[in-house]
Amino acid sequence: MSVPAKRITIIGTGLIGASIGLALRDAGYTGLITGIDRSADELRTALDRGAITHLAQSPEKQRAAISRADLIILAVPVLGILQWMEQLAPLVHHGQLVTDAGSTKLQIAEAARRLLPGRFLPGHPMAGKESGGAALAEAALFRGATWLFTPDVSTVVQAFEASATLHSEWRNWVERFGANVLDMPADRHDEICAWVSHLPQMVSTALSALLEDTFGNDADLRSIGGRALREMTRLGSSPFSMWRDVAHTNQAPLAHTLLMLEQRLQHLRENLRTPALRDEFSKANDFRRSH
């Protein structure tokens, strides 16, 4: 496969950005990878681990890394992606491609249409950990995961005129990471992710916070609680900084899923001693068997 992208710049060298760098290396990418991050520690860790080959800390070096890159990857929380898109708009030129790894897509796709038409491919790897940072990055993070793209059909012609090779190449690299590539509209992405990703996070957060309020450091709870407690509260360790952005940019779909869950929990509470409880377990078992 030809490798037209000889320079890649990753903006955000935490868990996802550094894992992308490591995955590129593991998949055979030999070009330059420059990292940009507000945290000097994250940059240094990413460099020491081989996720990036160069770091750009000063504004001058950052502008140079952006202007010289064939591919720019935004691997920061969603509100940070939107801010970076504003900054990149006057800098990104014909023949460059910008992509992202944001957890919501509709606002990003709308901003791309306005700021970077034909030069932006919205993406979202369905992979991660409850804790972040370059120290936890791994090349295999995306193996077996789904990597969603939400290309804007209104600019697809422009995209293929300006950077068709880079569009195709980036998709090929993602497949070489071991990920399964899937395209869908941005609004459909946000609706489904509200159910399969954002709602589970909020449930785990709510349960963990409720247990903290109710039991605090109760030793009995922590000694008795086993695998079920660990699995249900694992996501409660996730950082607010990322999920704040998800809640702000996917508020309506997420609020809808929470309302539906509230109604379902009320139904369970009202039917703890009726056959309806058995029916709920039957439906839950059917879902698990089919997945």
> Mean pLDDT in the chain?
93
Q: What is the reported pLDDT for 156?
A: 52
277 has pLDDT over 50: yes
Cα 137 to Cα 10: distance, rounded to the nearest angstrom: 14
Q: What is the reported pLDDT for 99?
A: 97
133 has pLDDT over 80: yes
Query: Of 3.40.50.2300, 1.10.3660.10, 1.10.1060.10, 2.60.120.260, which CATH number belongs to 189-290?
Result: 1.10.3660.10
2 has pLDDT over 50: no
Quote the percentage of the chain above a pLDDT of 70.
95
Q: What is the reported pLDDT for 3?
A: 44
Within the chain, which residue ranges are assigned CATH 3.40.50.720?
7-184
Among the listed residues 97, 127, 126, the one whose alpha carbon sits nearest the alpha carbon of residue 112? 97
Q: What is the reported pLDDT for 154?
A: 60
CATH superfamily of 7-184: NAD(P)-binding Rossmann-like Domain (3.40.50.720)
Print burial letters for 138-163: b (CB count within 10 Å at least 16), e (below 16): bbebbeebebbbbbbeebeeebeebb
Q: What is the reported pLDDT for 1?
A: 36
212 has pLDDT over 60: yes
Within the chain, which residue ranges are assigned CATH 1.10.3660.10?
189-290
Q: What is the reported pLDDT for 188?
A: 98
Q: What is the reported pLDDT for 217?
A: 86
pLDDT-derived band at 4, boundaries 50, 70, 90 = low
In degrees, rounded to 5, the angle at the alpha carbon of residue 83 between the alpha carbons of residues 166 and 22 is 45
Segments in the chain forming alpha helices (H): 15-26, 40-48, 59-68, 78-88, 106-115, 156-176, 186-193, 199-215, 219-224, 227-233, 240-249, 251-270, 275-290
Summarize the confidence of residues 140-150 as an average pLDDT: 98
Q: What is the pLDDT of residues 16-74, one digit of tens each?
A: 999 999 999 999 999 999 999 999 999 999 999 999 999 999 999 999 999 999 999 99
Q: What is the reported pLDDT for 262?
A: 98
Summarize the confidence of residues 206-220 as an average pLDDT: 93
Summarize the confidence of residues 160-171 as an average pLDDT: 76
Quote the percentage of the chain above a pLDDT of 90.
83
Summarize the confidence of residues 154-172 as an average pLDDT: 69
